[in-house]
Chain A
Amino acid sequence: MKMQPKAEMAQLGGKQTALLLKPGVLQQVLAFASLIVLILVFTFSSSNFFQFSNIVGILLSTAVTGVLALGSTFVIITGGIDLSVGTVMTLSAVMTGVFITYWGLPVPLGIVGGILTGAVCGLLSGVMVARLKIPPFIATLAMMMIAKGLALVISGTKPIYFNDDPVFSEVSQGSFFDEIIPGFAIPNAVVIFFIAAIIGSILLSRTIVGRYNFALGSNEEATRLSGVNVNYWKIVIYTITGIFTGLAGILIASRLNSAQPALGSGYELEAIAAVVIGGTSLSGGKGTIVGTVIGALIMSVLTNGLRILSVPQEWQTVVVGIVILLAVYADILRRRKA
């Protein structure tokens, strides 16, 4: 599996090699190659793998952690971390349930409310990190527990169902594509994930937010001394992470047609894993949205493929752990060479 990407690299000679050798690009090529290799391996190992329904299943299971990972990418590029995305997602789902089911608000308003919940949590984390100078790990650990507790308190520890508004479940489970091309039933959740990725990618590479995001992660002091309001932009970035987290809350609530207050813990680690596999450096300054998307896909292809090969769930977790180790170690090796 490790040799394959190199062989691919060798074929792309000439001018392109220079471009590919740039660290960020190379990391993406490696991650993408690993994804292809994984898909090939599973396709040859089981005829059940490369079926339309299975691929759709993989994409659907990527959507929620994928959107969380998109948000996490922003914070991680600053050199920070957000441990609260799992439970803030749950809190957003619960609040959406409160808005739609308990208060009877229209679905679009409920969705906006859910996303705002995530945004507010992100904003608070950002204020704790930027203004109160609490280390991101601690600030978001606190936020993780606060959100977890609030989700349980507000819901009364019981799931909130969206049975009164069947439209809401369409947000994830319905297929907008199926209506245009019958039979091509890609769930909306997947489409939303990819649209979110495109928006995230534009934010990161084309806007002032993205520029300061990288600048902060690369050398915060230099950025501050250049007259950039570092604290303000940090809060903006944590809020962006919160918005993506809120969106993930909507997706999971819609997919389960309910807000499950006990769900959510552990999602943050899967999101971080996807970001890291995608080549974003935990020390900040480097990373891409495309990488994160690939990282998220690698995680779910791996889980799905192993399940099809009847590898017990416990062992799947072990394999995922090893893959994270390999991805990060490959990154360290390459950096040492450069």
Chain B
Amino acid sequence: MSIFSPSGAAGAPRAGLAERLVNRLAGRRDRVDPAPAVGSPVAVLDRGGAEPDAELTEISEGDARGSGRSRRGFFGGAALVGAAMAVNPWGYLVRPASAYDAVCGLDAECADGYSVFCCTINGGSNSCPPNSFIGGWWKADSSSFCGGAARYYIDCNAFRGQNAWQCRCNDQGCDRRRVACNQFRYGQCRLDIPASQTGPVVCRMVSCTPPWQQYAGVCTSTSATDNRTATHSAPCNGREPIGSFDTAVDSGGAGGRLGIRITGWALDQDLPEQEIQVAVYLDGAGVAWFPTGVARPDVNAAFGVPGNHGFDIVVPAAAGGHTVTVFAINVGGGAANPVIGSRRVTVTDPNAGLPRGVLDSVSTGPGNTMVLQGWAFDPDAPGEAIQVAVYRNGQGEGWWPTGVPRPDVNAVFGIPGQHGFRITIPVASGDHAVDVFAINVGGGSVNPVIGSGRVRDAGFPLGRLDGLSATAGEVRLSGWAFDPDDPGAAIHVAVYRDGIGIAWFPTGLARPDVNGVFGIPGDHGFDIRVPTSPGRHEFTVFAINVGAPGPNPVVGSGSVQVPG
């Protein structure tokens, strides 16, 4: 009877055993819970999970196989490595290793049974040597050789019967693996070559590009995985850049911004005289590429190369803990930009505890005044009103308390209190520049500037020509104007057409928007109709000063075509 049969004798015991296993995986107990009998099979269907380490370790508990050996103990060593790979393959793969391991990886001796890399036996070229073909490929996941992505291994098989290759051990360098010995094929490439014409694996290539893309038309996309080969490599495999991530420290706010100072060196031995770049990632997100170029005579001496291969970089970073990862950017052969280090850094804000605030606006006020509005608070006493100091044209004007409700500030910073300010300062007519400082009440020795601003023509009329339009025989002008010296009064505007005065017109129309913005009473709008002959005409509107002596400023001008 078929295994796939929905019922029958073959299906029944399988279901029972599978159910017991599933229950045990899930921590559930069978009602009877018998341990599997000696020699009874273990069968597991892994749906969607490739390598369920912990689950299988759990299955083995209590399984008294013929050998009597504890399977928990049996799995122990593998579980340690396997768990590291499963939980943090990246960290496992990029952790420091000996120089030998770093170059050729594990199992690099002939007796270890693996095939040599092609570049080792093919003049440094990462390609199939003559009299061989691409027979198949596999991948190792989370490879440090590929920046954390999968690394692909592509076998080059000999042609059977040609005797172009003889099985041997490579005896040069650290990649002393087997040449043309292993009669094996992964099976995704050159499907036109049958097994009967397939000779042993001569060597293997490497790439960070999926083989079905790199060798499109030659290789197909059925995946095979062997993470045991993840460290395997050879010195000639593209001569990936090398380097060291020496330090990563809090920059201490140097240059007026928070950041992390990163130092180290990076070198691509394919082009040893060239200064390469390093890519910096902060908490997994790319920040930027930075050039090397800092002198590192120790590196020059160690590798016998010219050039400046050090780097000394400050990258912006907010206060708090960060993980910094540095990649060296490949400039020669090879497919990878390897990680040269990853470090954890905590950035502290030297300005923490200083007052914060913003000068929202600076405007002219009534009666030759200027008005400053904004907010300020000190995180050391977030519920208290602090003071702000105003400097006008470089001279201190005085200190004023905050205390105006600013629920928006409370909401953003999650603090109580009333931290707004609205300050009115008498000023003479003319231009004025102001700087506002928040006065520190807690830690820190600085009263930071929270804003600067400027007003022009304080005390002079303000206004705007909002609309200029024409109909047959008539031009319409609309807008608003007022004089801060008498903000409740309706003033006049003078209208000039083509440079010639037409008349003065009173304001007096309601403009609640103007009242709201400037905090003034009165009706300051105007809407004027001026009979005008057909043709194009230039109009200019002046606001007429009513307070302290001063000019009548232009509030707007424009050109309009009057139809015939």
Q: Does B associate with A?
A: no
A residues apposed to B, CB below 8 Å: none
B residues apposed to A, CB below 8 Å: none
